[in-house]
Amino acid sequence: MSLLGRNYNSELNSLDNRSQSPSESSSSITSENVHPAGEAGLSMMQTLIHLLKCNIGTGLLGLPLAIKNAGLLVGPVSLLAIGVLTVHCMVILLNCAQHLSQRLQKTFVNYGEATMYSLETCPNTWLRTHAVWGRYTVSFLLIITQLGFCSVYFMFMADNLQQMVEEAHVTSNICQPREILALTPILDIRFYMLTILPFLILLVFIQNLKVLSVFSTLANITTVGSMALIFEYIMQGIPYPSNLPLMANWKTFLLFFGTAIFTFEGVGMVLPLKNQMKHPQQFSFVLYLGMSIVIILYIFLGTLGYMKFGSDTQASITLNLPNCWLYQSVKLMYSIGIFFTYALQFHVPAEIIIPFAVSQVSESWALFVDLSVRSGLVCLTCVSAILIPRLDLVISLVGSVSSSTLALIIPALLEIVIFYSEDMSCVTLAKDIMISILGLLGCIFGTYQALYELTQPINHSMANSTGVYA
């Protein structure tokens, strides 16, 4: 199987014209990738692996700090509520896409198409006229969200690589809790980001999801191993949490909302994964099983991590681990898992942008343009990480701005637009309106708080750098 996984002759011939928009090109490619029963496609296990890896990323390791921002009681309860709500909105999105597919007699409808087709049938004349902007909006938000995830991955890998390298000379075989001690980094964090850059460029040249499932499996193995060691450590000698607040102030709770919604990173991959399945009708079972595992893992790690480290909880729980070889290996294993997950998250914006770019050139230049755009997008995520090297705040900002819109606001509005004329119950209508309002408020206030914190001087006791602990 070709690692590039694409036949440019058939792809270019399938384009209606050479001036398609990025989202139109993406929908053409996506529709071609449908796998009818009996043809090659992802199995249930492969789909589950992809779903887990799309959700278990860097946001998971930031959950102890998120619980700290919400409170020991409010945090876990709110995380459960956001998790259930997010999964419900994923189901809404799947139902809307399936309903539109049947109504329009299409094999597959992606997220952008579902938004556009639903607006084309709404009673408002202005919305019908500008329905195509629904697709553009979703495509833009998907690009921002997924590239935001990739930028966070850069920061996470660089943070942990810096800590492992610069503490190697003092790393011992004895695992003891870290003590706060300000250290001057030997090399700037940006050096480590640039070191990772060429390897990620090579990784994203792999385009086929079935090929990526091999790397996803490796990522799952390293993630499971590192998570086992993290749980083994944080469950030892947990202090009595009497001095930990049950509820934090509302400003830090806004940061919690952004981080929590960010951790459910897989909303952009729900429809593509169902599309790639050998038996798409089995996806609902895979979704409920996978997301149940994810939510339980989130709550346990976030709560136990905060109880273990208390006020010293860092932007990533790996930065709190003891400076010994055993737990340095945890950072290495999880970083390897995040490295491979980068390609999965990168797949969504690549499939939106690249087909349009390829359609603008001759066939002989198609491969060069494809690889050039991939390289440029990876460099863009690297530059973003260099410009804003605050892991915790970038997670909250990306979650508040785009993740809340894609995961909560748009699915609820889609259900209203599509099913309102088909005798939608008042309960369902009220539920969707409440979800949309909640997502909108979280988006506005969460974005404001994250931007406000980014403008403040860095508090070195809370900065996500290797210089914090020794």
* Domain CATH code at residue 124: 1.20.1740.10
H or E element: which one contains 340?
helix 325-359
A 10 A CB-CB count for 274 gives 22
The reply to whether 385 falls in a domain is yes
Nearest alpha-carbon partner for 391 in 332, 327, 444, 468: 468
Number of domains in the chain: 1
Q: Could you give the maximum distance between any two Cα atoms of the chain, in Å?
A: 70
Q: pTM of this prediction? A: 0.76
The reply to whether 414 falls in a domain is yes
The reply to whether 307 falls in a domain is yes
Q: What is the pLDDT along the chain (470 residues), one digit of tens a residue?
A: 333 333 333 333 333 333 344 434 333 333 334 444 445 678 888 888 878 877 776 677 788 988 988 888 988 999 999 999 999 999 999 998 888 888 888 888 888 888 898 888 887 788 888 888 988 888 888 888 888 888 888 888 888 888 788 777 766 677 666 654 445 567 778 888 899 999 999 988 877 767 777 777 777 788 788 888 888 888 888 888 878 888 888 778 888 888 888 787 677 678 888 888 888 888 989 999 999 999 998 999 899 989 888 888 887 787 788 877 888 888 888 888 888 878 877 887 888 888 889 988 888 888 899 999 999 999 999 998 888 767 667 777 877 887 788 888 999 999 988 888 777 888 989 999 999 998 898 888 888 888 887 777 655 434 443 333 33
The reply to whether 303 falls in a domain is yes
Predicted confidence (pLDDT) per residue in 21-49, tens digit:
443 433 333 333 444 444 567 888 888 88
The reply to whether 311 falls in a domain is yes
The reply to whether 8 falls in a domain is no
Contacting residues for 381 by C-beta, under 8 A, at least 6 apart: 147, 150, 151, 153, 154
The reply to whether 30 falls in a domain is no
- CA 28 vs. chain centroid, Å, equals 24
Which residue range is the domain that position 165 belongs to? 44-238+245-454
Q: Give me 166's structure tokens.
A: 């610069």
CA atoms within 13 A on the CB side of 454: 19
The reply to whether 3 falls in a domain is no
3, 211 contact by CB (below 8 A)? yes
Contacting residues for 409 by C-beta, under 8 A, at least 6 apart: 435, 436, 439, 440, 443
- What is the Cα–Cα distance from 165 to 170, expressed in whole angstroms? 10
What is the DSSP secondary structure assignment for residue 38, as one 8-state letter?
A: T
